[in-house]
Structure 1
Amino acid sequence: MFDFQNQPVDVQLVYSEALKHGRIVGGKAYGSWSKNRMAAFILYNYGIELVEIPEAEFLPNKKGNDIRLAVDCIEMALHNKIIDTFFLVTGDADFTALVYKLKSYGKRVIALARMRSTSYELVSAVDLFIPYEDIVKNERLVDPIDRLSEELEIFLKRSGKEFTVENISRFLNAFNINPSKYGYETMSSLVDTIYERKVERPEKMKEIKLILIREAIFGTLTDESLSVLSKANHVNLSDLKTALEILLHDGILEKQDNTYSVIRNKAFFATLLEKYPVEYTSLVNFLEKVYKAFMNGKVKSLNQIQQSEFKLSSTEFKSYLEAVKRSGCLKGIDDTDYISYSTPAKLVCDLEVFKTRTFSYYIKRVLSHTFVFREELEYIKELVFSNDQTLFDSCLHYLIKNGEVTELGNVYFYTPK
């Protein structure tokens, strides 16, 4: 049940969260849908009934919305016995009595809302409270190439065809797929990338290499420990061994007395950044264009930024959007600090601060995998900042001042807030 008028949220994120707690058999959303057409469209597609509520200034009784939601919940609890859980998207204390009534009927009640607009009484009453900020913080952008690849694979399976370069090319041409939309100049390069990702899985291999590196740094990595590591991380043992061979070949790991250890060189730090690709000039260009687009009102949310406007690979584009989202420079229209990719947002800083906070993301990415000695900062400065000393110093100073990086002697640690 969505109290959308008082608790506007990213519908897709919330619906996905609700699915984690059971099958959704029905629901209603209360709001002024003439002003929230996209949310209304998504809710309608999910089978959620839309209840039109006039704007607050036109309501003779502003509690009318609350009463309708409460009455509907009670009716559903009494007349639909298969419902065992109510998922309320609201933080209003006025619903506390409703929660206790639903629980008296033997129903489980979950509430989701923004922390700052949620009453303590409601949080105490429900069986489970989910801060909206948490699901937004953990949101991950789906790579458009991966999405296209999944659709392609489903189509080819239904057609009884194999996942080959030739069949991929036929599919893309048949549906008039424009490669520039995905950051590619030619169809053949897009086809090669799709095939490579599905068959050779380089993105998956990047994650597996990080698993091995973390184990080598913070645990004990041996041949015998690989099977345990495989089960703990739900990774094929053969993939772990392949990644291990790559790391040894690239001079990132070395083996001594049956134990693997990290060689802390430039290649090591480059590997830590493989999953979050960044190139100094292209990111600066990206940030300048994004800043201008937000300030001019051309885009109002992150998902309105089109990859086709930049000469970036899909992984770079995804990386840069993630960095911008986590920069803290965007706020919701209602000044909330936590926004999703589709949340209408505004920039609340100047361009230089925007650059500093966005580039800082990549220092944090490295430090989330390993501590860094002072002399090793030179690798990060070269790989991320192309030796821009001023910007690098600004980012490091910001992270230390903000409490996200701690300096102890000549060692730097990531201290997530």
Structure 2
Amino acid sequence: MNSKEQDESSVIRNQPGDIGKLHKEQVALYWDFENIHAAVLEEKYGEGVYRKVFNDLQEPVVNIAAIVRYASNLGNISVNRAYANWERFGSYRFSLLEHSIDLIQLFPAGGKGKNGADIRLAIDVMQDMQTYKHIKIVVIVSGDSDYISLVQRCKQCGREVFGVGVQRASSQYLMKSCSKFKFYHTLLDDARYLLVNAIYNLLANEEKACMLKARLHPAITRLYPTFDVGNYGFSSFVEFLNECRDLLSISQGDNDQMISLSEQGFKLLQEEKTGVNSLMPN
């Protein structure tokens, strides 16, 4: 290679757009999938629900894309591995495949249905820490206190550990052990707030109590032109609305459903925005 070719090669290898990629931290993402699924399910339907449907094909309630998006914001995901008895989680198939998650099948041992995910996950994490020295950030998707010792060991090995779990189902001691702990619902709250704020503004401006469902998507994109549900892990606006049903009061109109804010929707708005206390339903 002559000097001119060497200079050109050097320029190509050092394009400014590549610098960030070269220096991003490497992330290992581990899912105790049954733990996060059960926690989200009971957050949605109430405590004790998971035990009642334990042997059934499970409803896909976990927003996998939102968690992957959070982890990818920390760096490049080098390891993405989930542990569960996948016989009951077939409804997640396409989302798991879409995000290239390595699935570890764990059949339950004994009659109590315990699949031993915590033990297998911990063993794999420690092996990966020894094998993949370039991994600097570990993300554990679980709120189980059984992972406290694993978190401490990872930090002793010089890794940062980020946890993701449902607030009411996560151990406070695990949260304190992690470098940072992210509550699952906060991964979606930004989009949820934009939705309720758009509804509130439109209804307030028009002095109406409810709006046609068909007007909702144009209303939110008019207020927030860059809004895209794909950025929050949803494949469509309809899927996003289904996730936000607790924020909405829905009734059937003549030709379309009518939308207004539910008490939970006003509560979220009140938490994020001052001066709306008087709007809360009696």
- Range class of TM-score, shorter chain: 0.5 to 0.7
Mapped to 2, the partners of 1:28 and 1:58 lie a distance apart of 26
Matched, 1:7 2:59: no
Residue segments in structure 2 that go unaligned for 5+ positions in a row: 1-29, 38-61, 221-236, 253-257
Higher strand share: 2
**Using the alignment, how far apart are the partners of 2:264 and 2:164 within structure 1?**
31
The superposition leaves residues 190-218 of structure 1 with CA deviations (integer Å, 9 ceiling, x where unpaired) of: xxxxxxxxxxxxxxxxx9xx9xxxxxxxx
Give the total of aligned pairs: 206
Confirm whether residue 130 of structure 1 aligns to residue 130 of structure 2: no
**Aligned residue number for residue 101 of structure 2:** 48
Q: TM-score, normalised by structure 2?
A: 0.57
Query: RMSD between aligned alpha carbons?
Result: 4.7
Secondary structure of the corresponding residue to residue 191 of structure 2: coil
Q: CA deviation at 1:102?
A: 0.9
After superposition, the Cα gap between the structure-2 partners of 1:35 and 1:139, relative to the gap in structure 1 and judged at 3 Å, is farther
Partner of 2:202: 273
1:6–1:90: 8 Å Cα contact kept in structure 2?
yes
- Does residue 18 of the first structure (1) align with residue 102 of the second (2)? no
Distance 1:47 1:368, change over 3 A: closer
Whether contact under 8 Å (2:143, 2:174) holds in the other structure is: yes
- Structure 1 residue 84: Cα displacement: 0.5
Could you tell me whether the CA contact under 8 Å between 1:277 and 1:316 is conserved in 2?
Answer: no
1:97-119: CA deviations, max 9, x gaps? 01111111111100000011111
Q: Percent identity?
A: 22
1:102 maps to 154
Task: Describe the superposition over 1:195-247 as per-residue Cα deviations: whole angstroms up to 9, x where unpaired.
Answer: xxxxxxxxxxxx9xx9xxxxxxxxxxxxxxxxxxxxxxxxxxxxxxxxxxxxx
CA offset digits 1:153-180 (Å, max 9, x no partner): xxxxxxxxxxxxxxxxxxxxxxxxxxxx
Q: Which has the higher contact order (CA 8 A, sep 6+)?
A: 2
Q: Given residue 127 of structure 2, which amino acid in structure 1 is its aligned partner?
A: E
Q: Residue in 1 aligned with 2:262?
A: 358
Q: Name which of 109, 112, 117 aligns with 2:164.
A: 112
* Contact residue 26 and residue 47 of structure 1 kept, 8 A: no
1:272, CA displacement in angstroms? 4.5
Distance change (3 Å), C-alpha of 1:315 and 1:121: same
Q: Which structure has the larger Rg over C-alpha atoms?
A: 1
The 5 A counterparts of 1:3-402 are: 3-8=32-37, 9-54=62-107, 62=114, 64-139=116-191, 272-273=201-202, 282-283=211-212, 286=213, 312=215, 314-316=217-219, 325=244, 327-328=246-247, 357-358=261-262, 361=265, 371=275, 396=279, 399=280
Structure 2 contact 107–115 (Cα < 8 Å) conserved:
no
Match of 2:36, SS state, is: coil
Could you give the per-residue CA deviations for residues 317-354 of structure 1, whole angstroms, max 9, x where no partner exists?
A: 869x7699274579xxxxxxxxxxxxxxxx9xx99xx9
Give per-residue Cα distances to partners, 1:237-283, cap 9 Å, x unaligned: xxxxxxxxxxxxxxxxxxxxxxxxxxxxxxxxx99539999965654
SS at structure 2 position matched to 1:273: helix
Judged with a 3 Å threshold, the aligned counterparts in structure 2 of structure 1 residues 316 and 358 are, in CA distance, closer, same or farther, namely farther
Contact 1:85-1:109 at 8 Å conserved across structures:
yes
Instruction: Write the distance in 1 (CA, Å) between the matches of 2:73 and 2:106.
Output: 29
Helix, strand or coil for the counterpart of 1:30? strand
Q: Which runs of 5+ in 1 are unaligned?
A: 144-206, 211-269, 287-310, 331-346, 375-395, 402-417
Q: Deviations over 1:363-399 (max 9, x none)?
A: 9869977758x9xxxxxxxxxxxxxxxxxxxxx4xx1
